[in-house]
Structure formats: structure tokens, C-alpha cells
Amino acid sequence: MPRRDFVVGLDIGTSKVAVVTAEASSEGRVNVIGVGKSPSSGMRKGVVVDIDGTVRSISDALEQAERMAGVRIKSAYVSVTGAHVSSLINRGVVAVGREDKEITQEDVDRVMEAARVLNIPSDREIIHVLAREFVVDGYDGVRDPVGMMGVRLEVEAQIVTGAVTSMQNLLRAVYKAGLEVDDVVLAPLASGEAVLHPAERELGVAVVDIGGGTTDIAIFEKGSLFHASVLPLGGEHITNDIAVGLRTPINQAEKIKLEYGVARLSLAQEDAYFQLPTVGGQKEKTVSKATLAGIIEPRVQETLAMVDREIKKAGYGSVLPGGVVITGGTSLLPGIGDYAAEVLDMPLRLGVPLDVGGLRDVVSSPAFATSVGLVLFAAKERLKNAPKRQESGGGFLERVKGFFREFF
């Protein structure tokens, strides 16, 4: 009987907090057993602006997941996003340690540590160090050098960094909600774990996660993360535009968007209308769906144009054979997929979590891509059975853990 272990993903977004609890077998299979979701209060553009509000949202989602799973949740893998996140490329070089010149895992660990050595501002900290490719004695394109023979080992690594204060506030909210943090994971990296096929990761594909306050972009090629960035635009900006344009409260604007919204004016029925409650108890008024679409389309267009510029700035343009996979709650807006395919000029599909069992129907939505991706990421890490993960920003996390344990 394969040993089973619990893994938990905590996605703290701008519009919602989602918790996914799963059983991860020693064979790497993930079965979802508990799900919790609550409206997010205390986050803005992926960054904590109200710790107490964020703690309440985490606690509500946590309670739902625990009740459904029938287990007590003590720790979680936590997503991180926000415009403060950025990535860059760095290289590390070491000499192979063994006399017989066989490359070992210890050599790989040392070269990954060498890649971490770079000058970054004191207000930033490394979140991930991810190997793009290894080079053995000048021969590039090596995926796993362990067992190969060589004298010199190099790595080209993607370094993901974030603002220290933003990370600390996020982790503080998690600790105040009564949870330990197993690790922090870049949100689009987690989403990629959930929605991508292995063949897409090999060919080259962009994951565009359109959330409430941010749009996260991750480009994968040759099986690895090659670029990551976060844009400060998302579904809440569409909601705000609706609230201003129709003079209605934010919560009502969100309901209208979900019930009647479409991404393009051409998709709206010209003779279709809905009743709109207004501010201050005034009499309801009738609004056409075309008017609503006319408010939504410019913001969607702006967001997609920014995504297009970011992909081109990363050097990919229209040269991603795997195309684009859009996910996140806002990707459910009717018509946004076809609009994105047109703007980005690439093949496009909607991304839903793929490789999970258990309560699959419950999480089979783009809105759960990041939280499901977190448990898949966690299961992979557990499967590696390594005490020190070479791809993490563990030094920062351990320091923060120690700090918060003293107070909570």
C-alpha cells in the first residue's frame, strides 16, 4: 500500500482566497479531498494592504477546506504574485568535485548555489532559482547532468525575486491565520503545473493567468520556466470601470459582470437589457447589454495589449509553438479567449487543472489553477525527497519562519 501524505495549496489572490487540500501518494498521484474559497478582503493588486482582512479571508477558506477534507490543516504552500515580482537570468559555474569527473547531485547543488550569487537591492529577496539548462564542458542544452562526465559544470538559471516587505506581510497574514508556510511559490509557476501538458512545456508556451488584481505571465520552454512577469491589471479593474460607468456599487458591478458581461461589444445582443439597482436607494434603471460590453471591451483590450507587449519584450513574439494558455477567474469572461487569440496572434486554449483525482469536478475551473498547481508542485517536491530544495528561496523563508515563530 503506497504511503499517503497531505499537501495543501493556499492561493491568496486579490478577489478570492482558495485553499486546496490533497493526498499525495508516494508515487506522485494527487487526489483532492478538500476545497475552500472565500472573497478576499485585504489584498490589492496581489499585495497585502490590510493584514486583518487577509487573515479573516484565509481563515474562512481554511475552515471550509478542513470541514470538507475532515483533517486539520497545519501548513501550506503559498502563492506569491504582485507587480513587485520580477525575474532575471544569471549563470553559475563550478568545477566537478569527484576525481573520476562524474557529476553528482552535490555538484548540481553547488552550481545552483553559485547562480544565486548576484547583486540585488537590499529591499528584494530571491523567491526561486530555476535551472533553464546546464552546460557541461561547453556543451549546452543539458537537462540533468547527474551521472555525466565532465570537468566544468555551468547552469543558466532564472532568478525570480520579490520585494521583502510585500513577502513579509503576506507570510505574516498566513502565520496569523494559524498556518505554517512550507514554501512560497510564484503564482504563474504554480498555474503552469496545473494547466500545461508536458509537450507544451517542451515546445514553448505562455501561461497567462488573468486574476482579480493582476495578470501573471509565465513562459515555458524546453520543460523549464524561461520568463515570468506580473502586470498590475485584472478582473477587478473591469469591475471598477463598470461601477463608475453605470454608477453602481462595486459588489453589484461584480455581479453584473459575471451575469451579463462579455469581452467584446460585437458579442452583446443589441436588444437585450437588464435591471440595474443604483446608489442611494434610487429607482432601478434599465441598461442594455451592449452598453455594458462597451465598458468592458476597452479594459480587456488594454490588458491583452499589455500581455502582447510583455511576451514580445521577452523575445518570443509569435514564436511559441505551444501558443498561449489563459487561465484564472477572469478567463471565464465570455469571448475573452477568441479576443486574446486575435490580439496575441497565436493558438490559444483555456487552461483548467489537468492531472488531479479526487474532487476533480470541484476544482475543474481556471479559477483554481493556482491553488491546484500549488499541491501538484508540493507533491513533486515531496517526491524528490530532498532535505534542501535547490530551486527555492529557502534562506529568506527560513529567516521569516524563525521571525514569525517568535511572535505567533
- Asked if residue 116 is part of any domain, the answer here is yes
How far is it, in rounded angstroms, from Cα 108 to Cα 154?
9
**What does the chain come to in residues?**
408
Q: Inform me whether the pLDDT recorded for 402 exceeds 70.
A: no
29-44 confidence digits (pLDDT tens) = 899 999 999 999 889 9
What's the number of domains the chain is made of? 2
Whether 15 is covered by a domain: the verdict is no
Least confident of 3-7, 158-162, 387-391: 387-391
- For residue 399, the model assigns a pLDDT of 59
Percent of residues, the chain, with pLDDT higher than 70:
91
Average pLDDT, stretch 299-318?
92
Average pLDDT over residues 213-230: 93
100 in a structural domain: yes
Phi, psi of 232 (to 5 degrees): -85, 50
Alpha-carbon distance of 272 to 289, in angstroms, equals 6
Query: Where residue 25 falls among pLDDT bands split at 50, 70, 90?
Result: confident
**Radius of gyration from C-alpha coordinates of the chain:** 22
How would residue 397 be classed by pLDDT, with cut points 50, 70 and 90? low
Last residue of a domain, one of 280, 296, 312: 296
* CA-wise closest residue to 307 among 191, 219, 224, 192: 219
* 172, part of any domain: no
**3-class secondary-structure state, position 293:** helix
Domain's final residue, options 100, 127, 162: 162
pLDDT recorded at residue 401? 58
Residue 280 lies in a domain: yes
Give Cα separations from 166 to 15, 119, 190, 375 (angstroms): 17, 20, 19, 23
Where residue 281 falls among pLDDT bands split at 50, 70, 90? Answer: low
Asked if residue 403 has pLDDT above 70, the reply is no
Cα distances from 367 to residues 42, 228, 312, 391, in angstroms, run: 19, 20, 26, 26
Angstrom distance (rounded) from CA 47 to CA 250: 20
Is 109 part of any domain?
A: yes
Amino acid making up residue 132: R
CATH code for the domain in which residue 240 is found: 3.30.420.40
> Which residues span the domain enclosing 243?
235-296
* Confidence grade of residue 285 (pLDDT, cut at 50, 70, 90): confident
- At 277 the pLDDT is 72
- Interatomic CA distance for residues 19 and 8, integer angstroms: 7
Residue 40 counted as domain residue: no
Residue 392: pLDDT band (50, 70, 90) is very low
Structure confidence at residue 381 (pLDDT): 83
The whole-number pLDDT of residue 393 equals 45
Q: Burial level of 337, CB count in 10 A (0-12/13-18/19+)?
A: middle
pLDDT digits (tens, 9 = 90+) for 87-113: 999 999 999 999 999 999 999 999 999
Residue 345 in domain: no
Domain of 134: which CATH number? 3.30.1490.110
Confidence of residue 45 (pLDDT cuts 50, 70, 90): confident
Which of 126, 146, 162 finishes a domain? 162
List for the chain the helix, strand, coil content (%; round to 5): 40, 30, 30
- Identify the DSSP state of 10: E
